[in-house]
Amino acid sequence: MLFWGMSFVWTTIVFKYYQPITTIFFRLVLSSIILFIGIKIFTKREKIQVGDYKWFLISALLNPFLYFLGESYGLKFSSSTISAVIISTIPVFTPILAYYSLKERLSKLNIVGLTVSFLGIILMLVNKDFSLNTSPLGVLCLFSAVIIAIGYSILLKKLTLKYSAFTIIAVQNLIGAIYFLPLFLIFDFNHFISITPNYELISSLIQLSFFASSLAYVFYTIAIRELGVSKTNILTNFIPIFTAVFSYYVLSEYFNINKILGMVIVITGVFLSQVDKKSQIINFYRFFLRFKNKS
């Protein structure tokens, strides 16, 4: 989550030079190279069963292809902090998908958390005159990415039962790069060759590839296998916090009271949506009091 929080800042920097499709394409190509070298050095190469190729093709279509399109164009038209906060609502929407696909019951706190999170997002997106302070297209792209990410995490769980995290992410990123290649050649190639790379661009792109597209996804895949989808997605709450800190120091992003309050409300809503027993709230409150007393 630390690496993904930082990725919004690195992506914002790369977007000063490259278009989203170019950024994603080279991010995936570099990540695939890094991961396959890692497999060669640190692990055994796993043979993918013929019947599983369809699951890799579908999972790569969801993420990185569709998810990165939604996230990248959302980030292009919104600030890095707003983008990270919307992405952090993934655990809020997970119970809704589970309700319709798995017939899991929505608790009252799920509904309260969902409502509170929406209020926080609205507070961040709307000005005093009720006009949007960010692009509606950007918000639509980001929420599309959220829904895609939930579907991807459920499918990813299936793959983790048979293959290592390194193999899954390496293969998915390679397939994703192949998906993006035609788009890059058709829409972005002329713009790409007109840009002269500099240190800021190259370093940000390499950090995106190594930390966000390689290590972060490997760690996330391991967490999905060990903790499950719901518990792992709860940890996305940390993304906007990391993004806000790095955006402030690296991008000098301006934070007004609406943005700060909105972040607090969204994260509170996400927390509420994951608590299904009063005892858990009480235990959290006791832990907070002990921590406060020690401080």
- pLDDT above 90: residue 101: no
Task: Report the alpha-carbon distance of residue 174 to residue 64 in Å, rounded.
Answer: 10
pLDDT digits (tens, 9 = 90+) for 219-250: 988 988 887 776 777 777 778 778 888 888 88
Token duo for residue 274: 């994951």
pLDDT digits (tens, 9 = 90+) for 157-209: 889 888 999 999 999 999 999 999 999 999 999 999 999 999 999 999 999 99
The pLDDT confidence band at residue 98, using thresholds 50, 70 and 90, is: low
Task: Name which of 82, 88, 5 is nearest 273 in CA terms.
Answer: 88
Mean pLDDT of 34-42: 90
230 membership: H or E segment, kind and range: helix 229-234
| pLDDT, position 244 | 80
| Cβ-based neighbour number of residue 272 at 10 Å | 21
| Cβ-based neighbour number of residue 249 at 10 Å | 10
- pTM assigned to the model: 0.78
Mean pLDDT of 26-46: 91
The residue ranges of every structural domain in the chain are: 2-294
The pLDDT confidence band at residue 103, using thresholds 50, 70 and 90, is: low
Q: What percent of the chain has pLDDT over 70?
A: 82
C-beta separation of 239 from 88 below 8 A: yes
Task: Name which of 114, 41, 83 is nearest 239 in CA terms.
Answer: 83
Q: Which of 14-18, 94-98, 110-114 has the lowest mean pLDDT?
A: 94-98
pLDDT digits (tens, 9 = 90+) for 270-293: 677 666 544 444 554 555 566 556
| pLDDT, position 275 | 62
The pLDDT confidence band at residue 267, using thresholds 50, 70 and 90, is: confident
Q: Which residue has better confidence, 219 or 78?
A: 219
Task: Report the alpha-carbon distance of residue 15 to residue 72 in Å, rounded.
Answer: 9
The pLDDT confidence band at residue 294, using thresholds 50, 70 and 90, is: low
The pLDDT confidence band at residue 105, using thresholds 50, 70 and 90, is: low
Helix ranges restricted to H, 126-215: 136-160, 165-183, 189-193, 199-207
Task: Name which of 16, 87, 32 is nearest 210 in CA terms.
Answer: 32
Task: Report the alpha-carbon distance of residue 211 to residue 64 in Å, rounded.
Answer: 15
Task: Report the alpha-carbon distance of residue 130 to residue 76 in Å, rounded.
Answer: 22
